[in-house]
Amino acid sequence: MAFLVLPLAGLLVRAPWSTLPRRLSEPQVLEALRLSLVTASVATVVCLVLGVPLAWLLARTDFPGRRLLRALVTVPLVLPPVVGGVALLLVFGRRGLVGQWLESAFGFSLPFTTAGVVVAEAFVAMPFLVIAVEGALRAADVRYEEAAATLGASRFTVFRRVTLPLVAPGVLAGGVLCWARALGEFGATITFAGNFPGRTQTMPLAVYLALETEPEAAIVLSLVLLAVSVLILVALRDRWVGAAA
């Protein structure tokens, strides 16, 4: 416990509490916070749109290669984020597999843009959502879905009116975890999107930059991320306690 708690305690002890309000109101801090909140929220929406159907596919259907697909979904969890950023560059960069087509067809390039931040965050955060939603789907009682199907409801209607309400707590928990992971993403973001203030410099990148020049500012930014993490833990506490019980 000391090993886990002491670093956090050190952050609180060394925080410049007397100058905290002034530092939090600095333009670069507010800009990094705004960008982090926006990109993490957009990345979470992307993960919900793509991840919920993928979780349903893994939980409700049986097809060849399902185990392999589930393993591939969890790869970003164990892949070093910097490697993920390099992989994104090789696919979406100007000379990448998809990026060169985007460049030639639409004149659009993802790397080193705000959209690139969203892509990097979604790539590393989506497994948290998929795992949470898949677990909720496997725990849900399929008899309600079968009953709706026997009454003539289409598969989409069953999914929208029965399945989603049943697994809504799991989707919410997965979405919150996904958002938190996107908010704290560093390695893939700096590799794929760079560190440009106002455009790609999120809170973790601002912490890294401030640590080299102004350690007190880095502590303030770290406190903001720590507060967000604590709020997320409090929000999900009832779900985890209920699951443990």
Would you say 223 and 8 are in contact if contact means Cβ atoms under 8 Å apart?
no
- The pTM assigned to this predicted structure is 0.86
Would you say 75 and 83 are in contact if contact means Cβ atoms under 8 Å apart?
no
Would you say 192 and 89 are in contact if contact means Cβ atoms under 8 Å apart?
yes
pLDDT at 241: 45
Amino acid at 141: D
Would you say 227 and 11 are in contact if contact means Cβ atoms under 8 Å apart?
no
**Mean pLDDT per 10-residue run, the chain (245 residues)?**
88 83 82 92 96 91 88 90 93 88 84 94 94 90 86 85 87 89 92 90 89 82 84 68 45
Angstrom distance (rounded) from CA 102 to CA 110: 9
pLDDT at 245: 43
Running DSSP on this structure, what letter comes out for residue 58?
H
Angstrom distance (rounded) from CA 25 to CA 31: 10
